[in-house]
Chain A
Amino acid sequence: MKVLVIEDEKDLLLGIQSALWQEGYVCEAAQRMSEASEKVGLYDYDCILLDLNLPDGNGLKILEELKQKGKTDGIIILTARNSPEDKVAGLNLGADDYLAKPFYMPELIARVSAIIRRKKFDGSNIVTFNEITINLPGKLVSVNNKAIELTPMEFSLLAFLLANKNRVVSKNAIAEHLSGDNADLLDRYDFIYTHVKNLKKKLTEAGSRDYVKSVYGLGYKFTT
């Protein structure tokens, strides 16, 4: 699975790359428009992370180039200029997703994984991990081919943790993923703990191994 990260901030680029490597993606980088457009012209990527604000031009040009060449690489726009116009312009030019800076790394990885699944396994978007099978578009989960019933929150949580398997996912990142802007209402009530507990219970009761581990003080980890 090949990902191209177009981002001019070296520190952020390295952070994204190392996180993607951990998840088993092959990751290439471009810090300038010229470099990016060369790579995009030469190779096909499963997913391109595109920063719009590049020192030598607007990242939207890359989108135009891709569109002209008829390439179907999945594209996620990363931008600090989080304006509705940019978002609309980007999506209109064929971007698949839009992520405003700053973001949690697990969120980025979940989005990358979602894009790749959608592009690659169009129609039969099913993730299988050992005894667990997840039908992403249908929001169905089964353990050993036996369907289990999860709340929408529990489903999102499982998909999120699975996309970030073997990485520690912080409680903050989970809260933001599950509740967006309402995340700041959560921490008073151990909201996440409750959902994780219920999810683990439902999975183990259906005969699954206990993959979701609590990492004390930080968050949770889907361990394989």
Chain B
Amino acid sequence: MRLLQVSLRGSLLFSLMMILVSIPVSFFTIRALLNEEVDESIAAQADQFIQHIQSFEYLDDLETDLKVLDKLSSNIHITPSIGVVHTNYRTLNLYDSVDHENKPFRRFETGVIIKGKPYKLIVRMSLLETNDLVKAIGLVQLAVSVILVLGLLFWNRFLSRRLWKPFYKTLEQLKAYELDKNETVMTEESNITEFNDLNKTVSHLAARNHEVFTQQKEFIENASHELQTPIAIFQSKLDTLMQSPNMTQLEADTIMELESTAQRMAKLNKNLLLLSRIDNEQFLSKEEIELSELIQNQVRILTPFAGPAGIRISTRLEKLTIITNRTLLEVLMTNLLHNAIRHSPRDSDITLELEGSKLHVANTGQGKALDLDKITRRFKKESEDHNSTGLGLAIVRKICDNSHYELSYDFKDAKHVFTVDFQA
């Protein structure tokens, strides 16, 4: 769940609860307040009425007048009472003969003494208007609540769009960040201190990582370059030694071993250099290449090297045109084929199949499945072969990764099958 959703959920839940609580609370409060008002108004009316009546106490037939008044008036009733009447307020539903329905009324009851005789005074007032008022207030409140919720939702969107934009932008950049490709993370200046801090830290971290990475890459390339000259000197000295006459068997053997070792160093160095060149993206130029043609060509070149050991290379290739760097593609194919030839036993078959976008290179080999991750790691050799630098398949993997080809491995019918999907 997104941070904003969490905080929104909290505030929405809280506002909803508050609204739910506040509606009955305010409903009852307002009603109570209004009833109080009504009560006060009824009481005032009763007071006024009593005072008014009392000012007519000099009239002799006041009793009769009161009876008439009781009959005529609808809201004020005054009747002689027998016992003591306690002052009280009550809400009642009374039948309205005009509208033929029950209507809420507030009734005030009290006792008065007029001319020494006890009377019961009832004053009542319709609550219909008050109820309308309560309803109106309730509606307004509901409307306000809806606006509040909608407002919160909009505010949230606004926040995520504007306020949190730099954060999400940084996040996106981080997701897309690749140590070997991007130099640093491009962040956006924001007026929020925390975001700026975050951005600064992230940029710094990324830049530092990239720097270390670049230094390391450059170190490998420079080290490989610097080793070339000493190896060249070594080889030239061996050549000088070789020219000396009357060499013993032991000396000759030693010189040859040294030369083979120098060759191994040179090859190792060359492969390391190639790896770091791929890393440093020095193979940028791309062209359209017909893959089956390129493979046929490589097979033609390599057949003389496989033939003496009775290794047969057969091909079944469909046409496939890809756009890539020619050198890298050639290195990829050469390394795959070298690997297959080197690990094939005598008198066996290597098959190359290009189907759709997939190339399968299969060879017979040691009778156990290999771990692709392990054999494509640098300097992880499965064989004891001194001629193998342990970098061939690492280079294959590097080229596949860099060109977005998918490299997979399968052990089927006692055959090692390497598959490159050129359109993965």
Contacts and interface: CB of A to CB of B under 8 A. Distances in A.
Interface string A125-156: 00000000000000000000000000001000
Contacts of B249: 216-217
Nearest to B285: A84
B116 interface: no
A179 to B, nearest CB: 7
B381 interface: no
Interface string B239-250: 110110001010
A187 B387 contact: yes
B354 to A, nearest CB: 22
B256 A106 contact: no
A42 interface: no
- In this complex, the member of A102, A168, A190, A217 whose beta carbon has the largest number of chain B beta carbons within 10 angstroms is A102
Contact of B239 (A15, A181, A187, A188): A15
Contacts of B282: 83-85
Interface in A103-143: 103-106
A20 to B, nearest CB: 11
Given A102-B262, A217-B253, A217-B256, A12 B305 contact: no
Contacts of A102: 228-229, 231-232, 234-235, 262, 266
A185 B232 CA distance: 22
A84 B327 contact: yes
A39 to B, nearest CB: 22
Nearest to A17: B236
B342 interface: yes
Chain A contact residues: helix, strand, loop or mixed: helix
Contacts of B304: 153
A218 B309 CA distance: 23
Interface residues of B, number: 46
Interface string B196-233: 00000000000000000000000000000110110111
Contacts of A176: 263
Contacts of A32: none
Nearest to A181: B334
Contact of A103 (B226, B235, B327, B342): B235
Given A189-B308, A216-B249, A182 B242 contact: no
A100 B228 contact: yes
B259 interface: yes
Interface of A: 9, 11-12, 15-16, 18-19, 22, 80-85, 100-106, 153, 167-168, 170-172, 176, 179, 181-182, 184-191, 194, 215-219
Interface of B: 225-226, 228-229, 231-240, 242-243, 247, 249, 252-253, 255-256, 259-260, 262-263, 266-267, 270, 273, 277, 282, 301-302, 304-306, 308-309, 327, 334, 338, 341-342, 387-388
11 contacts: A9-B233, A80-B225, A103-B232, A105-B235, A170-B259, A182-B334, A184-B387, A188-B309, A216-B252, A218-B247, A218-B255
Given A102-B231, A215-B252, 17 more contacts: A9-B229, A80-B228, A82-B225, A101-B232, A102-B266, A103-B232, A153-B304, A170-B239, A182-B302, A184-B338, A185-B387, A186-B305, A191-B308, A216-B252, A217-B252, A217-B256, A218-B242
